[in-house]
Amino acid sequence: MILAVIGVENAGMDQPPTIMPLEFVPARQVLAREDAGFSRWLSEHLEFLEPVLGLTAMELVATESPVGSFFLDIRASGVDTQGQTVAVPIENQYGRTDHDHLGKLITYTSQAAATAERVLGVWIVEEARDEHLAAVSFLNEISPARVGWVLAEVRFVPGPGDAYYVQFEPKARPNEVLAAAPRQSSNPAADLAYKEYMDAILERAGAAVLKLGYGPIRPYGHSRRIGLPSGLPAGRATQKCG
């Protein structure tokens, strides 16, 4: 992590350099809207995420991509260290993490895992709560090798003129982002149990939305709450996969 800027204009044998702390500014000061501002900007600069995710050749698939009645901020893809394509659903959030966006992350990643061989669910936030950091770390522990999860904080620093520097700091991610995973799971039964669990989340979440009378999440703001439904097969969720 970069902590300070060191100016060299005064550096010399007798004079120490000028050292100043970095000034982090709220994301809304840089890009006022999370949807039409930050998400749209990030979709055009996915290469900034490559060092954080351990991927290369990241490409945009779609923005505000429909997942059932909901909309995923960014649907992307990348290439891992084995040269294999990874589906990358990205959920963005200003402010501190909350249960609503955690539920969205799980929903979108489970949908991607139903069709893609490898998936990396990504949650970009300004501030990660300890509880949600633990939750994402737990997801990495119980998920099969082909599915990974990343929670990263984004920070902006004023630059020259009206420019800004941006920093993405990973807070939780797989030990090795899908790098050494075999193409076939060594535990097909556990993999199937995980898929059934994720399918149940997607199905029950959709049913809960209809029951509560919520409409679809509309693009560019107007977000509505998604809560994880009760009664899911919790026993399968704790089964060690991979």
pTM above 0.85, yes or no: no
pLDDT tens column, 85-115: 999 999 999 999 999 999 999 999 999 999 9
Does residue 13 fall inside a structural domain? Answer: no
Q: Which of 166, 109, 103, 102 is nearest to 128 (CA)?
A: 102
In whole angstroms, give the CA distance from residue 136 to residue 166: 23
pLDDT at 22: 86
Band the pLDDT of 175: cuts 50, 70, 90: confident
**What's the pLDDT band for 196 if we cut at 50, 70, 90?**
low
Pairing between β-strand 164-172 and β-strand 18-21 as defined by DSSP bridges:
unpaired
Give the pLDDT confidence score for residue 14 in this predicted structure.
78
pLDDT of the residue at 212: 40
Cα distance between residue 110 and residue 103, in whole Å: 11
121 occurs within a structural domain: yes
Counted domains in the chain? 1
The verdict on residue 11 lying in a domain is no
Is 122 among the domain residues? Answer: yes
Structure tokens at 110: 């489970």
Task: Give the mean pLDDT of 136-162.
Answer: 94
User: Mean pLDDT of all residues in the chain?
Assistant: 79
Task: Name 143's bridge partners.
Answer: none
Token duo for residue 130:
């300890």
Tell me whether residue 19 is in a domain.
Answer: no
pLDDT of 221: 31
Average pLDDT rounded to a whole number, residues 221-237? 37
Contact 177, 55 (CB under 8 A): yes
pLDDT value for 215: 36
In a domain, 212, yes or no: yes
**Structural domain range at position 77:** 24-237
Indicate whether 9 belongs to any domain. Answer: no
Cβ atoms 242, 144 nearer than 8 A? yes
Q: What is the arithmetic mean of pLDDT over 173-185?
A: 58
Distance (Å, whole) CA 158 – CA 90: 25
Is the pLDDT assigned to residue 182 strictly greater than 90?
no
Q: Which two tokens stand for residue 187?
A: 């535990």
| Residue 237: band (very low, low, confident or very high) from pLDDT cuts 50, 70, 90 | very low
